[in-house]
Each structure stands twice: as C-alpha cells, then as structure tokens.
Amino acid sequence: MEGLLSFISDILQQPAFLMGLVAMVGLIAMRAPWHKVLTGTLGPILGYLMLSAGADVIVSNLDPLSQMLEHGFNITGVVPNNEAVTSVAQALLGVETMSILVAGLVFNIAIARFTRYKYVFLTGHHSFFMACLLSAVLGALGFEGTPLILIGGFFLGAWSAISPAIGQRYTLKVSDGDDVAMGHFSSLGYYVSAWIGNIVGKDSKSTEDIKVPESLGFIRNTTISTALTMIVIYLIAAVAAGPTFIEAELSAGVNPYVFAILSGLKFAVGVAVVYAGVRMILADLIPAFQGIAGKIIPNAVPAVDCAVFFPYAPTAVIIGFISSFIGGIIGMLVLGATGGILIIPGLVPHFFCGATAGIYGNATGGRRGAVIGAFVNGLLLAFLPALLLPVLGNLGFANTTFGDVDFAVIGLLIGKIGELLGNTGIYGLVAIVAVALVLPSFLKPSPEAINNVFDDEE
C-alpha cells in the first residue's frame, strides 16, 4: 500500500505526467483516433519537460547571481525558497504531505465536477508545496492522522479550485481570451497587481507597445533583450562581489566577468526554452481539454503554471522581474530597520512571480500597472514570508521559508485561526469554505462555468 501511495504521489508531483494524463483522458472522451491520442498526450508532456528544462537553466543561473549579491552587499538572513523548505519538511512530515497531496487532488476533481468552481489545477509541484505547508501548519496546531489528512486535503482541493476563479477575469485579459486559468500559488499577488493596474494605469500604454528607434529594433527580440538586461545585472553583481570570491566559489577559475556574461546569456536561453515549451503545451492541451469539459467535468478549465503566461507579454516579464526585485530589496531594508526577520529577496520567486505580476499589471494598467503592480508584489514577497515563519512550528527554525504569496496567506489564515480558536476554529473554517463552494450553485443556477464567482463586474 505504501509503495502504491508513493507511486501515485510521485506521478501527481510531476506536472508533465499530470498534463499528459489530462490530455489523454480528454482525447479519449472525444473518441479521437489512437494516433491523435498518442501525439496529443505526448505533446503536453514534452512541452512541460521543455518548460521545466528552461526553468532549470534559469534557476541554476540565478543561484550564483544570488550568491554574488549576498556577498557583494554583505547580506545575511532568511531566503524564501519553496524547494528548500519542502526538503526540510519532508524529513518531519513526509507521509502526511503525500497523503494530503492525493486527498487534495480528489477534492479538486470533486469540487470541479459538482460545484460552480470548474477549475482543474494542473501545476502538480505547487500542489505538493501547498500540501507540505498545510501538513506543517495543521501539525503545529496539534492535528494528526486522518483529521490532518482530510482537513489538509480539503483546503488544498478547495484552494486549487477557488484561487483560479478569484482572478479569472484578469487572466482572460492576460491570455486574450484563451480558455486557461492561473494555476500557481502566488495567484493573490498577481491579482493584487492587476487590481493596482486598474487604479494607476489609466491611459498607460502596454509594455508590448514600447517604441524603439529602428537602430535598436533588435531589442524587440525577446531573447536578445533578455540577454542584454541580464548581462548588465550579472556584471553589476560581479563587480560588487569581487573577482576573488567569484573565482574561488562560483566560476571554477573562469574569469569572473566572462562568467557573468555567460550566466546572463544562459539565463536568456532558459527563457527562450520556456517560451517554446509553453507553445507546445497550449497547442495540444487546450484542444484535448475540450473532451474533459464536454464529457467528464462540464465546462472545466485547466489551471496552468505561471510561466505559461510569459509569451503573452514578454516585455512585461523583464519589467515585472526588475520591479519586484526592487520591491523585495526595499522590503528587506524596512524589515532590517524595524528589527524584523530579514527576508533576503529570492531571485527565483522574484523572477517567476514578479514577471507574472508584471504581466497582470500590464493587462489592466499598461506600463504603470506592470511597474507598480510588480513592485507591490515584491513588497508582499518580503513581508508575508516574515510573518509566516512563526506559524510553521519546527520548520520555523530553518533558514528558509515558503516564498510565494498564497502560501503565506493560507498559512497565516489557518495558523492564526487555530491559535485563537483552537481546533473548533479550524472546523469552523472548513464549514465556511464548504459553504463558499456550494453557495454559488444556488445563487447562479446557469450551467455555464463561472469566470469569477466573487465579481459580477467587468
């Protein structure tokens, strides 16, 4: 039984397999020929593996940049990183995390089938991270065994369906009407960015309409402009860190400035691979998902990883990353000045989450929305992880924590309610969420999928 559970949980942690299985089920439901089932299944799998490979290149080149910045500017503190804190948690809560992960997927499918929340969450690694967070927070409150698994699985499945719904009207603006949803647990940061864009971005032109002289037309090439931007950032970090540190710790003897330039170029290659993988995913997944929507879960909408949205506004990706990182630095300085836990800006969350916040801010508020929305996202990525640390129990002693906005909000909500009201408060929260899931079915009896159950306005 344990081996079967391990096999299932490993499959569910792999978004490539999850997307492939969803596409296969959809194609079979549509009674597609076997060769189309084969190619339509492999397409999303290969596309996501391509996206993942590009992301790995990005992450591997962000790590030395982070080290150069920390050494060059003499910064020490807690670095938010989902992978790192999850590895710490697995030693303490491995079985609980895996069990919540499986239960969460079952709840998500049931909610999508029987309620108005028609979103199927396909970003398996983020489901795994959230399962880990829930096992830590609920475990710190004294839950264990079956109650911990069922409550954690319910919260995971519910948020997997609710979080895409909250901001779907923004997502439709980002995707130009493509029928996909946000399946990434920093979604609240993206929706805040879009909301801010609505406020500050009146008459602001899109980041994608930035006009450049003909002699600088090559900047419109996303890969080239990304490479040039990142080379400048890496060279600044290299100068701050100094050649001795880089040669001894990072570059294996390669000239530090050559190392910096190569790292910037490799980063751009990673971004280009991500874009190629996204195009491959969408080409096969969305048509196949029509089978799911029509036959199994009526009106179902796939909720996909944040990087899937990068090609919709490539310029906003870079603007969002830089603005978010600046917000993270300012947030760190404020925390240091007020005596709080020092949260060092993690370049991985600031790139992926900041870029996506920039895209959402741009969709509603153009350039101003992209800059200000992503900047506020950066502040959230500084302050919220600092507030989350105390509710993680034993995990709070590690030198890392969860990095994205949703993890902090969900962890703080459950943790604080549990501290104030005990187990009764948690059961009450379960009841409130259950009512929120069921109530729209009675308020809006139309069979159409909801785009945003909390907002009747465009």
The residue type of 195 is W
Q: Which tokens belong to 134?
A: 């829930």
Share of the chain above pLDDT 70, in %: 86
Task: Give the model's pLDDT for residue 215.
Answer: 61
Task: Give the model's pLDDT for residue 148.
Answer: 93
Task: Give the model's pLDDT for residue 213.
Answer: 64
Q: What is the mean pLDDT of residues 423-434?
A: 95
The residue segments making up the domain with residue 370 are: 2-443
Q: Does some domain include residue 363?
A: yes
Q: Does some domain include residue 450?
A: no
Pairing of strands 79-80, 400-401: parallel
Cα(175)–Cα(250) distance, rounded to whole angstroms? 39
Does 130 or 442 have the greater pLDDT score?
130
Does 21 or 294 have the greater pLDDT score?
21
Q: Does some domain include residue 453?
A: no
- CB under 8 A, 24+ apart: contacts of 450-454: 450/116, 450/117, 450/118, 450/165, 450/168, 451/165, 451/168, 451/169, 451/172, 452/165, 452/166, 452/167, 452/168, 452/169, 453/116, 453/117, 453/165, 454/165, 454/166
Q: Which tokens belong to 424?
A: 């009764």
Q: Does some domain include residue 154?
A: yes
Per-residue confidence at 448, pLDDT binned at 50, 70, 90? very low
Give the CA angle between residues 372, 170, 451 to the nearest 5°. 160
53: left (phi over 0), alpha (psi -120 to 50) or beta: alpha
Q: Does some domain include residue 132?
A: yes
Q: Does some domain include residue 451?
A: no
Structure confidence by residue, pLDDT tens digits, 368-387: 999 999 999 999 999 998 88
Q: Residue 120 belongs to what H/E stretch?
A: strand 119-121
Task: Give the model's pLDDT for residue 457.
Answer: 40
Does 2 or 446 have the greater pLDDT score?
2
The model's pTM is 0.78
Q: Does some domain include residue 455?
A: no
Structural contact between residues 148 and 101, judged by C-beta atoms closer than 8 angstroms: no
Q: Does some domain include residue 360?
A: yes
Q: Which tokens belong to 127?
A: 């489901």
Give the chain's domain count. Answer: 1
Q: What is the mean pLDDT of residues 333-357?
A: 85
Does 79 or 40 have the greater pLDDT score?
40
Q: What is the mean pLDDT of residues 402-415?
A: 92
